[in-house]
Amino acid sequence: MSDIPGEIMPHGVVFDMDGTLLDTEGLASRAWPIAARAIGVEFDVSLIGSMVGRNSRDCSVLISDRHGVQFPVDALMTAMRSAFEELMAREGVAVMPGAVELLEWLAAARVPMAVATSTRRERAEVKLGEAGLLRHFHGVTGGDEVARGKPAPDIYRLAAQRLGVEPARCLAVEDSEPGYDAAVAAGMPVVFVPDQAEPSARLLAARPRIFATLADVHRWLASLPRGAWT
C-alpha cells in the first residue's frame, strides 16, 4: 500500500495538474471529437479514457495503434490542441473544489509544493497562472522534459529533485492511474482523487488511499502530526 510512513506530514507535495488541480479533463474529452470532425476523420472516443494522464507522445502512439499508421495522428493532435484552447478560452480555467484552500494551507504550513504534469511545461505554467495557482509552486515539471511519460517514474523523480526533497518524503496527489503508477514507481506515497473515471479493479487491489475531493485531502493532512518522515 502506498501509504505515508508513520502518518506524518510530508516534507513536500507534488501535484498532478489536469483533473487534479484544474478541472480540464472534461474539456479534453469534448475536444477530441471536435478535432476529429474538424479534419474529417473517424475517431474512437473509447481511447479518451486511456489517454488521461499521458503525454502527447504516448497519446499519439495509442491513437496510431488503434487507427493504423496511415491515420493523420499529427493533424488530429494539432486540431485537438486548438479545440481545447478554444473551449478553455470560452469557458475559462476552472479550479478543482478544495484546491485553493489546500494550497494556501500547505503554503502557510511551509510545505514546499511542485507540479508534475504530462502537459508541456510552458503551457502548464500558463494554465496555472491563469487559474491563479502558479504562485504556490516551487517548480513545474512538464511532460516535455522527461524521456518517458507517466506511468514511468521519470517526471516524479525530476519534480522531487527540483523540489529538493527525497521522493519517499514527498506526497503525490493524482487523479489518473498512469499518474498513480508513476508516483509509486518513483517511490512516493500517493493519494488518489478520481476525476473522470472510478478506480479500476487493478488499482483498488493495490489498496490506494482514495479521497473524493481535495478538501478531503486537506482535512486528512491537517489531522496528521508534524515531524520528519522515517
What is the average per-residue pLDDT within 162-183?
95
pTM of the model: 0.83
Is residue 144 annotated as a catalytic residue, yes or no?
no
What is the C-alpha to C-alpha distance for residues 67 and 74, in angstroms, rounded to an integer?
13
CATH number of 5-23+94-222: 3.40.50.1000
The three grid cell numbers given for residue 122, joined into one nine-digit string? 510552458
Give residues with Cβ within 8 angstroms of 58, minimum separation 6: 51, 149
DSSP state of 182: H
Catalytic residue (one of 16, 58, 154, 181): 16
- pLDDT over threshold 50, residue 1: no
Residues whose CB is less than 8 angstroms from the CB of residue 130 and which lie 6 or more positions away in sequence, other chains included: 93
Tell which wins on pLDDT, 219 or 92.
219
Q: Please tell me the predicted confidence (pLDDT) of residue 7.
A: 60
Cα(202)–Cα(192) distance, integer angstroms: 14
Most confident of 72-81, 85-94, 97-106: 97-106
Look at residue 228 in the predicted model and tell me its pLDDT: 45
Instruction: Output the DSSP codes for 92-125.
Output: --PBPTTHHHHHHHHHHTT--EEEE-SS-HHHHH
Catalytic residue among 3, 18, 175, 181: 18
Catalytic site includes residue 18: yes
Reply yes or no on whether the pLDDT at 221 is more than 80.
Answer: yes
